[in-house]
Amino acid sequence: YTKSAVDNQRWPGLLLKAVSVSGEASTLVVYNEQMSTRVDPGCDIGQMNSADGISIYTLLASPPGGVNYVRQALPPGGADTLAVPLGIDLREGGTVTFSAVTSPLGSLRYWLEDRVTGTFTDLNTKSYTVTLPADTYGSGRFYIIASANTPTSINQPAEPGDNLRIWASGR
């Protein structure tokens, strides 16, 4: 998914795809020893979205969030303790199928957690289909988890119930 300047090997991670009747979107999560759970300039890439169809993205695994990322780079150490928030924007709603192309991170597998249904899907071997309501926007329902076993829960800070975002410019 990303080449190392040193050894020309792919970084472990996953390319997560979401397909609906309104289109297809993807986001990338990769792991490398030199990355952090905060913003890594040049490796974490923010999303610029103007599409009317489906859009998926991740948010920082450790607060503060606020920026939607089309690619997020994380450290492999402690990867099994992180739940990466996955956001989805889908104005029309409808059936969405999540699937992934994966590159191994040791013995860890990649899981998609749906906190509304309590479902964990092994993205290395399966896809996950769900029906979302119209005007689905933001994060809080889906998470990406790297774990050797089926996860049960990961202690994460509570996310705000609303998706209010404020930017300041100048004063």
pLDDT in tens, the chain (171 residues): 444 455 557 799 999 999 999 899 999 999 998 888 888 887 877 787 766 789 999 998 776 567 888 889 889 998 888 899 999 999 999 999 999 999 999 899 999 999 999 999 999 999 999 999 999 999 999 999 999 888 875 444 444 445 555 656 665
pLDDT recorded at residue 121: 96
Is residue 81 classed as helix, strand or coil in its secondary structure?
A: helix
Structure tokens at 70: 């089309």
Closest-CA residue to 59 (of 27, 97, 13, 15): 27
Sign of the CA dihedral running 115, 101, 93, 139: positive
pLDDT recorded at residue 157: 44
Write the Ramachandran bin of 23: left for phi over 0, alpha for psi from -120 to 50, otherwise beta.
left
pLDDT recorded at residue 9: 72
Helix, strand and coil in the chain, % to nearest 5: 0, 45, 55
Q: What secondary structure does DSSP assign to 33-64, as a single string?
A: TT--SS--TTTSEE-----SS-EEEE--SSS-
Are the C-beta atoms of 13 and 1 separated by less than 8 Å?
yes
pLDDT recorded at residue 169: 64
Are the C-beta atoms of 96 and 133 separated by less than 8 Å?
no
Are the C-beta atoms of 13 and 144 separated by less than 8 Å?
no
pLDDT recorded at residue 48: 77
Strand-strand pairing, 142-147 and 83-89? antiparallel
pLDDT recorded at residue 132: 96
pLDDT recorded at residue 31: 92
